[in-house]
Amino acid sequence: MNRKYCGFLLINKEPSVSSHAVLRPIKKLFDCKIGHTGTLDPMATGMLVCAVGESRKFIQYAQARANKCYQACIQLGCNTETSDITGTVISRMPVPSLSTEYISSIIQKKFIGDIYQKPPIYSALKYQGKPYYYYARRNETIPIQPRKVSIFSISDVNYDRQLHQINFKVLVSAGTYIRALAVDLASALDTIGCLASLHRIYADPWKNQPMYTLDTLVNHSQPEQLLLPIDTALPHYQRVRLTQSVLTSLYHGQIVSIDRCPQELVEGSIYLATDDADQFMGLVERRENGIKALRMLRME
């Protein structure tokens, strides 16, 4: 595979389309395997990070620290089977008199920092090898354990008293469900609620990078120019420059003696390996007995 067709692509997803559907035209365009670093619900818009070609190998190493920022809107007074506005309404409840100031105070008291949330039953998390939504669609009950997530900030809170809607911006850790946050916040306000809209502003570490619509991508004369280098997803790993002979040994699955490395490496740590020209080659791990390849680009 030509390496110019490897990298991360930042798509500005439109509403009413699944993340999987977004990947199909990209796969056809680049004629290679495509993945993503995390789905967006069909109703949601914004940054969908697509992994083109060999960049798929490194998704798991980028995801661990991929905090995400959203603009969200919660509809109070009703809840649905999917916990968002696209689902069938299953209950309604009066909304008490609320203000932006009061809602902000509840948020600061109960929803900032490390919290536990119960993921929605309509989600792609797995139970006994099948996604939660498999059981939801069959009306089957499964045990869902609360998970620890981090909410770093909730800002720009605004409450529309006429529409009973809360608008806000939120920065969260990977694995946080904004639909679950909507349900929990509504409960803390003595009512019920669901997610009315969601826009992903960015996912780390691509905070200040441009996004592209699918139309822009497929009509671009050189779409490969829109790909971001693989190592842009891995800024949290220290770089280590290795000789070609060391890289060749790693490519062949050999554990390389630590004395062949030009710098001191900490045992148990993962490093971003580059060649003599500082080009990204893959990820390596310092073991007790030397250096071992974790994920490497194919040799040309």
Contact predicate 113/150, CB 8 Å: yes
d(C-alpha 51, C-alpha 5), whole Å = 10
Decide if 41 is catalytic: yes
Per-residue DSSP letter, 48: E
d(C-alpha 113, C-alpha 149), whole Å = 8
* Cα torsion through 137, 142, 143, 147, rounded to 10: -20
- Pair of tokens at residue 64: 């661990």
> Of the residues 41, 84, 204, 231, which is catalytic?
41
DSSP strand pairing (290-296 vs 280-287): antiparallel
Residues 6+ apart with CB under 8 A from 163: 75
The catalytic site residues sit at: 41
